[in-house]
């Protein structure tokens, strides 16, 4: 019968530390322990002791590694031990809160028992979370969580200078006509890729809604250009976007009709 997976215990960690000290490769250590080599690689990487003050002390130590692994599991067990915290997390997820928002609110309110957003994600994809299909309420609605190393990494999409804090007072205080706010409204996947761009003029609150067939930035910007270019410049002085990927092509909009972003 095939062996079921079990966590690495302290005895195995002692052997890993001793064999590493002896210069054995990860493949040989994995073979001796009857583990997959990726399991040993992951164990060493996640539980490596790092001393920023004295780098010479950096290394894999069995007791320190065991404590790190135990602490990580304890964080997830918080949601198993404290039913009121677990229920609060579940309710907020179901009301549309992201794990980052939930964890941030806990820190802001200085809860005596708080968890990180990573712990909340792990809970949502655990057996308990899967049983009530919590993943359906997460931002990306994935039935299975994508491994960390496979997640897409984006460079900086927007310059730090493009910050709402730098918006002129005349715009922020709604004192001048011609400044717009723009957002994208998405629908459930069963309705397809179509979405709606919303444009609201900040003084008059006049609103325009534009249908898009997908979330690609250039088509979204083309729709804005077609809509706004007929207006006099004083009626389209600026647009405030959020930092969604659908608005990354804002320089194209600015070059086309001169509207500041």
Residue 11 has what pLDDT?
92
Task: Check whether residue 204 and residue 251 sit in a common domain.
Answer: yes
Q: CA angle at residue 98 from 42 to 216, to 5 degrees?
A: 90
Task: Check whether residue 250 and residue 185 sit in a common domain.
Answer: yes
Task: Check whether residue 172 and residue 108 sit in a common domain.
Answer: no
Contact 132, 90 (CB under 8 A): yes
Task: Check whether residue 207 and residue 244 sit in a common domain.
Answer: yes
Task: Check whether residue 65 and residue 87 sit in a common domain.
Answer: no
Task: Return d(Cα 124, Cα 138) in angstroms, integer.
Answer: 9
Could you tell me which residues are beta bridge partners of residue 244? Answer: none
Task: Check whether residue 178 and residue 251 sit in a common domain.
Answer: yes
Residue 199 has what pLDDT?
94
Q: Residue 30: inside a domain, yes or no?
A: yes
Within the chain, strands assigned E span 179-185, 195-201, 207-212, 238-240
Residue 1 has what pLDDT?
38
Q: Residue 76: inside a domain, yes or no?
A: no
Task: Return d(Cα 91, Cα 248) in angstroms, integer.
Answer: 33
pLDDT by residue, tens only, the chain of 261 residues: 344 557 788 899 999 999 988 999 999 999 999 999 898 998 999 889 988 888 888 899 999 888 888 877 666 577 877 888 889 999 999 988 889 999 999 988 888 888 888 889 888 888 788 888 888 888 777 767 765 555 555 556 677 777 888 888 889 899 999 999 999 988 877 777 788 999 999 999 999 999 988 888 898 999 999 999 989 999 999 999 988 888 888 888 888 998 988
Residue 82 has what pLDDT?
82
Q: Residue 157: inside a domain, yes or no?
A: no
From 50, 71, 92, the end of a domain falls on: 71
Cα of 192 vs its chain's centroid, Å: 23
Q: Residue 2: inside a domain, yes or no?
A: no
Task: Check whether residue 209 and residue 139 sit in a common domain.
Answer: no
Task: Check whether residue 50 and residue 93 sit in a common domain.
Answer: no
How many structural domains compose the chain?
3
CATH code of the domain covering residue 229: 3.30.420.10
Residue 148 has what pLDDT?
56
Task: Return d(Cα 98, Cα 200) in angstroms, integer.
Answer: 26
Task: Check whether residue 67 and residue 112 sit in a common domain.
Answer: no
Tokens representing residue 105 in the block: 């609110």
Q: Residue 237: inside a domain, yes or no?
A: yes
Backbone CA torsion sign across 59, 60, 61, 65: positive
Tokens representing residue 20 in the block: 């590493």
Q: Residue 107: inside a domain, yes or no?
A: yes
Could you tell me which residues are beta bridge partners of residue 86? Answer: none
Task: Check whether residue 101 and residue 140 sit in a common domain.
Answer: yes
Residue 228 has what pLDDT?
93
Task: Check whether residue 206 and residue 183 sit in a common domain.
Answer: yes
Residue 71 has what pLDDT?
75
Q: Residue 133: inside a domain, yes or no?
A: yes
Q: Residue 185: inside a domain, yes or no?
A: yes
Task: Check whether residue 248 and residue 185 sit in a common domain.
Answer: yes
Range of the domain at 28: 7-71
């Amino acid at each position: 019968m095939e062996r079921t997976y079990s966590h690495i215990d302290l005895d195995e960690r002692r052997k890993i530390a001793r064999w590493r000290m002896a210069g054995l490769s990860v493949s040989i250590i994995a073979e001796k322990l009857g583990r997959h080599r990726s399991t040993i690689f992951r164990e060493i990487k996640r539980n490596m002791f790092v001393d920023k003050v004295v780098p010479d002390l950096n290394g894999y130590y069995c007791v320190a590694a065991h404590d790190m692994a135990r602490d990580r599991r304890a964080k997830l067990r918080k949601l198993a031990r404290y039913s009121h915290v677990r229920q609060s997390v579940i309710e907020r997820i179901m009301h549309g809160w992201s794990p980052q928002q939930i964890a941030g609110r806990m820190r802001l309110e200085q809860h005596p028992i708080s968890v990180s957003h990573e712990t909340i994600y792990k809970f949502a994809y655990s057996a308990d979370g899967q049983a009530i299909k919590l993943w359906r309420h997460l931002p990306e609605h994935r039935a299975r969580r994508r491994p960390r190393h496979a997640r897409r990494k984006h460079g900086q999409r927007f310059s730090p200078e493009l910050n709402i804090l730098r918006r002129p007072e005349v715009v922020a205080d709604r004192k001048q006509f011609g400044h717009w706010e723009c957002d994208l409204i998405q629908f459930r996947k069963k309705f397809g890729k179509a979405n709606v761009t919303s444009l609201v003029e900040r003084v008059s609150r006049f609103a325009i809604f534009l249908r898009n067939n997908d979330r690609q930035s250039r088509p979204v910007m083309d729709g804005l250009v077609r809509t706004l270019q007929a207006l006099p410049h004083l009626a389209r002085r600026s647009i405030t976007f959020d930092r969604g990927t659908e608005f990354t092509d804002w320089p194209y909009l600015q070059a086309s009709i001169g509207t500041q972003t």
